[in-house]
């Protein structure tokens, strides 16, 4: 897929606004990986003789939503998690976030927005070799700042529409003066979705249940007040259950994790997947996403054990409980923690 040559990016801050540079690289098209309609529509027939009504659900959250408001593609963005990139913008408005190991023992995020797309997100960073396997099931748009040629080529080969900072000429990216480089690239996310609104919405990725989806005795879920994860010596996030708010609150390396709004980063569901790491790319680790492994779902102050499976790059992740039933999530946003097999996951009652 052809790219045009470009020039330099603009900066925008409290006092300075400059022109954005370079050429637009829009590769791929909308080809949803599954034929599922999105958003999901359920016909509800009241007990009276009144006409049937239709209730729509956000495909990536499982929450009731207006179907017309969801008639647009999802936006996946590669988000920086270096200390100088924090606080990130609008993480609490995501539908799903994947945390992955990258070189140097650091982590980065593939964050997906669909039901609530903010005006701006970031900081945006470069692609890694596992990202095509993570993002492909969602269809729609993928935005990132660049990357090694081989990794960019891998992403370009997916059905996703690629928007790349290195080649943008339309002003969708800018550099924020108040942030240090290279942790300063911001995407005008709502505009990116608006310009590509004709692309298909994402298909459903996970199964959803009630606000307490792990209550069935057969799931053998255990009460959980805290989830501690170790990706490396330098990255050990944790989640604490806030029963009053019915959310998990995030910490990183022992300190509360906040986003740019000042709010603590939070999630309704934590999906922890034990994953292998492929070192074929030298110092750049590739999380192995196609296959199967151990999994835990933490929701409603409980954690249930099971397995994850993913059959192909474009296939969704399937979560199965130890008793063979589906591991369902609570309606709301989800963080997927891709913990290396050399790392650890601890669930405290």
Report the predicted TM-score, pTM, of the whole model to 2 decimal places: 0.87
3-class secondary structure for the chain?
A: CCCCCCCCCCEECCCCECCCCCCCCEECCCCCCCCCCCCEEEEECCCCCCCCEEEEECCCCCCEECHHHHCCCCEEEEECCCHHHCCCECHHHCCEEEEEECHHHCEEEEEEECCCCCCCEECECCCCCCHHHHHHHHCCEEEECCCCHHHHHHHHCCCCEEEEHHHCCCCCEEEECCCCCCCCEEECHHHHHHHCCCCCCCCCCCCECCCCCCCCHHHCCEECCEEEEECECCECEEEEEECCCCEEEEEECCEECECCCCCECEECEEEEEEECEEEEECCEEEECCCEEEEEEEEECCEEEEEEEEECCCCCCCEEEECCCCECCECCCCEEEEEEECCCEEEEEC
Which residue segments constitute the domains of the chain, with CATH numbers given?
11-35+69-195 (3.50.90.10), 217-348 (3.50.90.10)
pLDDT in tens, the chain (349 residues): 333 333 334 445 433 333 233 333 333 333 333 334 344 433 332 233 334 335 699 999 999 999 999 999 999 999 999 999 999 999 999 999 999 999 999 999 999 999 999 999 999 999 999 999 999 999 999 999 999 999 999 999 999 999 999 988 779 999 999 999 999 999 999 999 999 999 999 999 999 999 999 999 999 999 999 999 999 999 999 999 999 999 999 999 999 999 999 999 999 999 999 999 999 999 999 999 999 999 999 999 999 999 999 999 999 999 999 999 999 999 999 999 999 999 999 999 9
């Amino acid at each position: 897929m052809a790219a045009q040559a470009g020039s330099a990016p603009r900066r925008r801050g409290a006092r300075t606004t400059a022109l954005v540079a370079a050429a637009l690289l829009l590769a791929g098209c909308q080809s949803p990986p599954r034929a599922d309609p999105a958003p999901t529509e359920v016909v509800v027939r009241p007990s009276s003789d009144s006409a049937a009504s239709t209730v729509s659900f956000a495909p990536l959250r499982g929450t009731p939503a207006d179907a017309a408001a969801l008639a647009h593609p999802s936006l996946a963005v590669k988000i920086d998690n270096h200390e100088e990139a924090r606080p990130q913008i609008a993480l609490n408005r995501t539908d799903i976030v994947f945390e992955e190991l990258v070189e140097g023992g650091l982590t980065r995020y593939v964050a997906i927005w669909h039901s609530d797309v903010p005006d701006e997100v970031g900081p945006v960073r470069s692609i890694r070799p596992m990202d095509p396997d993570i993002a492909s099931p969602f269809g729609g748009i993928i935005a990132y700042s660049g990357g090694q040629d081989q990794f960019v080529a891998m992403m370009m080969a997916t059905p996703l529409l690629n928007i790349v900072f290195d080649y943008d000429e339309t002003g969708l990216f800018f550099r924020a003066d108040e942030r240090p480089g290279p942790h300063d690239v911001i995407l005008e996310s709502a505009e990116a979705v608006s310009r590509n609104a004709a692309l298909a919405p994402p298909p459903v990725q996970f199964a959803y249940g009630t606000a307490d989806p792990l209550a069935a005795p057969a799931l053998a879920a255990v009460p959980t007040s805290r989830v501690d994860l170790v990706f490396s010596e330098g990255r050990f996030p944790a989640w604490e259950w806030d029963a009053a708010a019915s959310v998990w609150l995030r910490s990183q390396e022992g300190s509360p994790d906040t986003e740019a709004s000042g709010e603590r980063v939070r999630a309704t569901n934590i999906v922890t997947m034990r994953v292998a790491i492929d070192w074929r790319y030298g110092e750049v680790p590739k999380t192995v996403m196609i296959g199967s492994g151990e999994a835990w779902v933490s929701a409603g102050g409980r954690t249930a054990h099971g397995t994850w499976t993913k059959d192909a790059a474009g296939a969704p992740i399937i979560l199965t409980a130890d008793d063979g039933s589906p591991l369902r999530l609570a309606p709301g946003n989800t963080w997927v923690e891709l913990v290396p097999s050399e790392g650890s996951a601890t669930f405290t009652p």
